[in-house]
Structure formats: C-alpha cells, structure tokens
C-alpha cells in the first residue's frame, strides 16, 4: 500500500489538506462557470434591449408594408408600454427551421440579448419529417443558449389532414425544446388569427396588418416575460 500512501500524501497531512482545498476550489469554480454560462446576458436599465425575431414570412411581413411587419409592430407595442427595445426583423419568406439554422450566426449579431424563434410553419406545410425540424430548432436554441441569449420559442400547429402521427410528432417539438433548454414558450404564434378570414390575406396563410396586431397582442405578455430575463 506504499503507492497509496504516496498518492494521498498521508505522510504530509498538511500538503494533503492543501491539495484537497485546491481540488474543491476547482470544482466550485467549474460549477460556477457552468451556472454563469446558462444565465442570459443582463442589459443595463439605461440601454435598449436588442431583440431579433428569427423567422419566416410570418416574421418578414409577406405582402405587407414594412411598417406592418411583426417585429416593427412588436417594437411599437413594447415602446408604448415604456420598454426601451430595438427589435430586428430576421424573417425570410419560405424559410424552414434548417434554413434559419444555416443563417443563425449572421442573423443574430453580437450584442443581441434576446431572440424570438418563429420557425417551423414551412416545414409543416411541406410535410417534412418532424425529426428534421426538431433537430434544427433544438440546435438553434442550444447555440443561442450557449451565447447566453434569452429565447422565446413561438410554436406552430399542424393542419389535421397531415395525419395523427405527423400532428403529434410536430406539435410536441416546441414544448420539448423549451423544457430542455429553459426557453420561454408561446404555444401557437397564430393563436386567435389562424382561420379568421378577417385577419388573413386571401391565401388564408398570412395575416393582414390587423392580423399582425392581433398576434402582437397575444404574444406581448410572453415578450415582456422575456425582457425580465435580460434586464438588471
């Protein structure tokens, strides 16, 4: 057992105590580092919170004037309530979740404090394998979390005629990812708008300006909750 006594330094109890303290310190520092990495970057109260909406045509404002796009209307609503925010439109019409992942780094620049992820509608409409959509969305949220950017995941519903298996596989994507990464979740981005002819354009898929305002009104409390995660 001589090798064991040499390893633990039994002949030098003080040295062993020092080594033990150093090991414990390293463990504590590692744990603290992991904790800090998971905490969103705080923004000083006198600085505007930079929010990026990463999405598809529902974000981009398909067939609408730029002033009626969701990010613009959301920024206006937040400022009307006294929040200092800058909301950037990173919506690309026709984009899938995989497309959003491919452009994530340049769509979400340094200094961004929070991201609203609005992707998946085109995946659903094209009948893409929900597992593909989930992998892409999860990678987006994971990478944003690693950058200490607070995330609000805007969910999407699947149309029933795609079949029960597809619907179940698709609609569980959003709550599962939100739970895994402690992201905020707004279950259905088009809640209160989908299916209402008065709030949608002729294609029945894209909201009118009034529809965008309805979306903003619905998601606004969740966005306010998002802001509490990045404000000191």
98, 123, 145, 206: the catalytic one is 206
| Nearest by Cα to 154 from 118, 179, 183 | 118
Active site residue 57: yes
56, 57, 98, 145: the catalytic one is 57
Q: How far apart are the first and last CA of the chain?
A: 56
Helix orientation angle between 130-146 and 164-171, rounded to the nearest 10 degrees: 0
Alpha-carbon 69 to chain mean position: 19
Instruction: Tell me the C-alpha to C-alpha distance, in Å, between residue 23 and each of 17, 20, 30.
Output: 10, 5, 11
Report the C-alpha gap between 77 and 119 in whole angstroms: 22
Active site residue 203: yes
Active site residue 107: no
Residues labelled as active-site residues = 57, 203, 206
């Amino acid at each position: 057992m001589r090798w064991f006594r040499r390893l633990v330094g039994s002949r030098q109890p003080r040295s062993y105590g020092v080594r033990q303290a150093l090991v414990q310190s390293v463990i504590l520092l590692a744990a603290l580092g992991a904790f800090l990495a998971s905490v969103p970057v705080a923004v000083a109260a006198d600085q505007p919170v930079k929010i990026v909406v990463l999405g598809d045509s529902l974000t981009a404002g398909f067939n609408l004037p730029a002033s009626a796009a969701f990010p613009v209307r959301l920024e206006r609503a937040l400022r009307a309530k006294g929040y200092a925010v800058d909301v950037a439109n990173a919506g690309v019409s026709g984009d899938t979740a995989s497309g959003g992942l491919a452009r994530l780094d340049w769509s979400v620049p340094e200094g961004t404090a929070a991201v609203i992820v609005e992707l998946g509608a085109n995946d659903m409409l094209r009948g893409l394998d929900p597992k593909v959509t989930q992998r892409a969305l999860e990678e987006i949220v994971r990478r944003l979390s690693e950058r200490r950017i607070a995330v609000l995941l805007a969910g999407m519903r699947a149309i029933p005629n795609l079949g029960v298996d597809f619907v179940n596989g698709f609609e569980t994507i959003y709550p599962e990812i939100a739970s895994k990464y402690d992201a905020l979740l707004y279950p259905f981005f088009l809640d209160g708008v989908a299916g209402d002819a008065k709030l949608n354009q002729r294609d029945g898929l894209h909201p009118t300006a009034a529809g965008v305002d309805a979306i903003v009104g619905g998601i606004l409390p969740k966005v306010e909750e998002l802001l509490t995660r990045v404000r000191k």
